[in-house]
């Protein structure tokens, strides 16, 4: 649950406010107990940073409850496109990434075509969540989806429509994603939340060892040049930092210090042309405010050249999502 009064206990002005930003990953939640409509997002992005484009990721919050089950995700694309087209800042959700059940194999094209039509020029790709872990600590879907033959048959159709694939998984599954990237070198794959490094439950035993394991797997994945990666998501509970449990939220300097080892490693392995910062709001809003997290990102790359900063904050996301 987001606590606005708690977030307001730590306040910062936006640093380097003129730098253009493409927020590569956020959600909009409708018809949910803890909703996050476009009006809430507009307030967050209007607090000082120069947000010029954003990418909306499927949320399972606006699905039509009638009609073909295969087609229900298209309702979210249709709904979001309609909402943002009418809002005061049409650059919000300039790219839409929706859900399609890739395990449905040869029936996937009709769903993709419907998404493209519903997006009216905004639809860019598919996210079919594949996160799985044996521990009950984590929300999981079916085991081994990335290796499943039906999933891969559906995945193969993305290339035909010029669509990318957003991968949400946990770090032990990164070798499975590498295998998928190798099998489909002509399909763009975007790793969400730096590959989901787990640090609670059975993964809380030795954070340094888990970090080393994550680094090794990220390094292997980076060898596949059809893969890009989103730098963000460490505010989620599963990453184990526990910022949401503190009396006051963290400031950007503290966040930059904690996050830098992860994000700088990704940048070292993938390069700035395949790395993009993301807010992951409102999920990460549980741990820090929008202004503060983008301040943290800017502090992490403060010594980078202007073109490198521009790539990480805007250009890579705009290129990967064809905005």
Computed over every residue of the chain, the mean pLDDT equals 94
What are the backbone dihedrals phi and psi of residue 165, each rounded to the nearest 5 degrees, phi first? Answer: -120, 125
Q: Are 321 and 55 in contact (CB under 8 A)?
A: yes
pLDDT tens figures, 101-127: 999 989 999 999 999 999 999 999 999
pLDDT tens figures, 72-83: 899 999 999 999
At 158, is the secondary structure helix, strand, or coil? coil
How many whole angstroms separate alpha carbon 221 and alpha carbon 174?
Answer: 7
How many whole angstroms separate alpha carbon 126 and alpha carbon 24?
Answer: 14
Neighbours of 205 (CB within 10 A): 9
Would you identify the CATH topology of the domain 4-10+17-320?
TIM Barrel (3.20.20)
pLDDT tens figures, 19-60: 999 999 999 998 767 789 999 999 999 999 999 999 999 986
**Which pLDDT score, from 0 to 100, does residue 35 have?**
87
On the question of pLDDT at 65 being above 70, the answer is: no
On the question of pLDDT at 237 being above 80, the answer is: yes
Report residue 44 as tokens.
């967050």
Three state DSSP letters for 171-217: HHHHHHHHHHHHHCCCCCEEECHHHCCCCCHHHCCCHHHHHHHHHHH
pLDDT tier at 166 (50, 70, 90 boundaries)? very high
On the question of pLDDT at 66 being above 90, the answer is: no
Q: Are 304 and 13 in contact (CB under 8 A)?
A: no
On the question of pLDDT at 97 being above 80, the answer is: yes
pLDDT tier at 61 (50, 70, 90 boundaries)? low
Matching residue, tokens 């202004």: 291
Q: Are 309 and 303 in contact (CB under 8 A)?
A: no
Matching residue, tokens 């460490």: 234
Mean pLDDT confidence for 8-12? 96
pLDDT tens figures, 169-199: 999 999 999 999 999 999 999 999 999 999 9
Nearest CA to 51 among 92, 84, 21, 29? 21
Matching residue, tokens 């519903």: 118
Q: List, in sequence order, every residue forming a beta bridge with 126; answer none if it has no partner.
A: 98, 165
Nearest CA to 132 among 238, 275, 283? 238
Domain ranges of the chain: 4-10+17-320
Q: Is 85 or 62 the better-scoring residue by pLDDT?
A: 85
Q: What is the DSSP letter of 36?
A: B
How many whole angstroms separate alpha carbon 260 and alpha carbon 296?
Answer: 9
Residue 54: which H helix or E strand, with range? Answer: strand 50-57
Mean pLDDT confidence for 81-86? 93
pLDDT tens figures, 278-309: 999 999 999 999 999 999 999 999 999 999 99
Mean pLDDT confidence for 61-65? 54
pLDDT tens figures, 124-147: 999 999 999 999 989 888 799 999
**Which pLDDT score, from 0 to 100, does residue 70 have?**
75
pTM equals 0.96
């Amino acid at each position: 649950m987001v606590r606005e009064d708690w977030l307001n206990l730590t306040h910062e002005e936006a640093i380097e406010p003129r730098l253009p930003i493409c927020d590569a990953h956020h959600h909009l939640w409708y018809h949910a107990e803890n909703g996050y409509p476009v009006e809430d997002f507009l307030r967050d992005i209007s607090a000082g940073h120069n947000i010029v484009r954003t990418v909306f990721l499927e949320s399972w919050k606006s699905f039509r409850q009638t009609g073909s089950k295969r087609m229900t995700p298209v309702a979210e694309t249709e709904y979001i496109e309609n909402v943002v087209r009418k809002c005061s800042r049409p650059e919000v959700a300039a790219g839409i990434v929706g859900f399609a059940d890739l395990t449905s194999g040869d029936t996937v094209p009709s769903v993709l075509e419907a998404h493209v039509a519903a997006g009216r020029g905004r639809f860019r790709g598919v996210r079919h969540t594949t996160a799985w872990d044996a521990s009950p600590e984590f929300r999981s879907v079916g085991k081994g989806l990335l290796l499943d033959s039906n999933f891969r048959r559906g995945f193969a159709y993305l290339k035909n429509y010029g669509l990318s694939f957003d991968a949400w998984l946990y770090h032990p599954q990164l070798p499975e994603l590498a295998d998928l990237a190798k099998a489909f070198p002509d399909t763009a794959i975007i790793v969400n939340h730096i590959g989901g490094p787990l640090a609670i439950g059975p993964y809380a035993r030795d954070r340094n060892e888990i970090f080393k394991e994550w680094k090794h797997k990220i390094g292997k994945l980076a060898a596949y040049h059809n893969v890009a990666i989103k730098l963000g998501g460490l505010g989620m509970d599963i990453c184990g930092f526990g910022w949401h449990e503190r009396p006051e939220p963290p400031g950007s300097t503290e966040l930059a210090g904690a996050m830098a080892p992860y994000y700088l490693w990704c940048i070292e392995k993938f390069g700035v042309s395949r790395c993009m910062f993301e807010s992951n709001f409102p999920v990460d809003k549980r741990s820090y405010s929008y202004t503060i997290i983008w301040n943290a990102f800017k502090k992490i790359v403060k010594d980078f050249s202007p073109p490198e900063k521009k790539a990480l904050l805007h250009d890579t996301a705009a290129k990967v999502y064809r905005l």
